[in-house]
Amino acid sequence: MPHPSMNPGVDSLPLNFCSKQTINNKDRDFCSQQTINNKDREDDKNKNKENGNIIEKHIEEFISDLLLKTFEDRKIISNELKILIKPLGFEIYLPHGEKTLANGVKRTIFLCNNPKKSKNTVNTQNQQEINNDKVFEYRSDCPFYLQFTTDLTGKNYSLTTYVIQHNHPLITTNEMKSINKMSTPIKTTIKDLAGKLKTTKELTEYVNKQHNIKANYHQIYYQENKSYAEEYGNFKDDAKMLLEVCEEDLHLHLGKYKHCLNTDNQLVNFIYSSKEMEEVYRRFNDLLIIDTTFKKNRFNMPMINFVNIDEYGFSKVVAFGFISNEKEESFDWILEQFHGL
């Protein structure tokens, strides 16, 4: 007997009714659409597999960079990870507080924080607004983690143990295209313009327009920092390189500098004046302007400038430096060193 859901006069069709049997146009359209949908799902599956391989490669490069770095505290680790990991399609969080082991070593673990829909998700819009905290929950089953530990003194965190595999999708196809298109010409553009434009936002806009891609701020920021590391070395060597350059300038060009280190042998205050700057100050020392910059470097140190006005009314820098903070003792130190140069 014909199935009651079928049109009158049409025999019952098998379950895989997309066959060569006679069917009406409506059924044929549905069959075609079903075939297209199956093909789209297969394409998406292949794309996701390809994207997963590319993302895994980027994560491996990211881990290789982390293994070369050390960090002063958990906050610095967290801030850098949030910026560098976001373009890779997931986020991280601290599941619990820092643990101090018996030997004095401190341990911090970051887990994957990629949200998924909760089983308690409600359907109506009003209920979603009321029960917004139930719409998403954190993944507790993802194996990804990064473990940072300190040395025996409880300082200088470094990556010691990690698992980079995930058990969930990481990134959308459109975002994946941006990462996949970060080719050598794009990286060259970023390297050439790093530090020359006012902000990373301007660099992002320029790169996207120049190469017709849709890279986000964090991707460009990551590549920009990589170019800095390639050209100037690891950030932990910045202070050492600065003092080496100043020492060389002292012998070759008679430049002068003073610096202050803390008990951990870290640079906290610094001031420099070249021979030409010193000569300008000797000629025009009736007015001295001292001010710190609004923005700070990546070590959170503001720059302080000492400026004179010459006979033409132009401002001339006669010394500059960096201070760890804008407290009274920091200004006392740098003013004393300036008069002693």
Find the distance separating the first CA and the last CA of the chain, reported in whole Å: 105
* Residue 5 covered by a domain: no
Whether residue 156 is found in the same domain as residue 264:
no
Is there a single domain that holds both residue 73 and residue 170? yes
DSSP state of 157: B
Nearest Cα neighbor of 252 from 271, 274, 230 is 274
Please check whether residues 172 and 254 belong to one and the same domain. Answer: no
Q: Is residue 52 part of a domain?
A: yes
Both tokens assigned to 278? 């010193």
pLDDT given at position 293:
85
Q: Supply 71's token pair.
A: 């960090």
**What local confidence, expressed as pLDDT, does residue 125 receive?**
39
Asked whether residue 318 is assigned to any structural domain, the reply reads yes
In sequence order, which residues have a C-beta less than 8 Å from that of residue 231 and are 6 or more positions away?
191
Q: Assess whether 169 and 51 both reside in one domain.
A: yes
- Residue 246 in tokens: 């100043």
Q: Looking up tokens 């139930």, which residue turns up?
A: 134
In this structure, the answer to whether residues 167 and 256 fall within a common structural domain is no
Q: Identify whether 166 is part of a domain.
A: yes
- Using one digit for the tens of pLDDT, what is the confidence trace for 174-210? 554 555 457 788 888 998 988 788 788 899 899 988 8
Distance, CA of 171 to CA of 164 (rounded, Å): 15
pLDDT of 278 over the 90 cut: yes
Please, which pLDDT band fits residue 284 given cuts at 50, 70 and 90? very high
Does residue 24 belong to any structural domain of this protein?
A: no
What integer pLDDT is reported at residue 5 of this predicted model? 41
Q: How many domains does the chain have?
A: 2
Domain-embedded: residue 265: yes
Do 52 and 170 share a structural domain? yes
Average pLDDT, the chain: 75
pLDDT at 26 over 60: no
CA distance 110 to 95: 7
Residues 56 and 169 placed together within one structural domain of the fold: yes
Q: Does a structural domain hold residue 171?
A: yes
Q: What is the enclosing helix (H) or strand (E) of 180?
A: helix 173-180
Parent domain of 73: 44-118+134-180
Q: Please choose, from the candidates 54, 112, 57, 109, the residue with its C-alpha nearest in 3D space to the C-alpha of residue 85.
A: 112
